[in-house]
Amino acid sequence: MTEIMNGVSGFFWQYDIYFRIVISAVLGFIIGWDRTSKNKPAGLKTYTYVSVACTLITIVSIEGAQMLSEPDSGKMMDPLRLAAQIVSGLGFLGAGVILKDGLRVKGLTSAAMIFYVGGIGIGIGAGFYSIVIFATIVTTIMTKIGNIFEGREITTVRLPKLGKKKDEEDEDNVGT
């Protein structure tokens, strides 16, 4: 049994980078599927591409820093420097889905979700599987709850006029 566990563990660690890409693609796809089902401007492919691209950039940044840094030469690279530039690109993509129609602004949720999926990609790329999957589950549950609240019709309640009795209100409404 120990040999099997060591084999599985060794396989996972040997191909960890590939698992990161697959997990990122699956999570991006799930979020994109939700958006596509609501006929939103960014959908399946957009979210999958953003998530995988962010994962790939993060992996390249971290692995490149380890590979190109020379330990005793004082030459060190910052592994998150390249990943930090992802945020600028996500802002550009997010701005592209925000539309103004008169006084209404559309696409803010799509822009926020592009930023969010970028975070998923960075997290998976850096190897933080459990926290990213947990964050995706919590966010999905909370947005479903939010949809329930947004879908309910909010009705206004008419309060009775203060200072008048019921008989006086009836007399005021007789001629109308």
Q: Which residue has the tokens 């993509």?
A: 93
Q: Is the pLDDT of residue 72 over 60?
A: yes
Provide the domain limits for residue 164. 2-172
Q: How confident is the model over 118-131, as a mean pLDDT?
A: 88
**Count of domains forming the chain:** 1
pTM beyond cutoff 0.75: no
What tens digit of pLDDT does each residue of 21-36 get? 889 889 988 888 888 8
Count of beta carbons in the 10 Å neighbourhood of residue 44? 17
| pLDDT computed for residue 166 by the predictor | 57
What tens digit of pLDDT does each residue of 35-44 get? 888 887 777 8
| pLDDT computed for residue 91 by the predictor | 84
Percent of the chain predicted with pLDDT > 90: 1
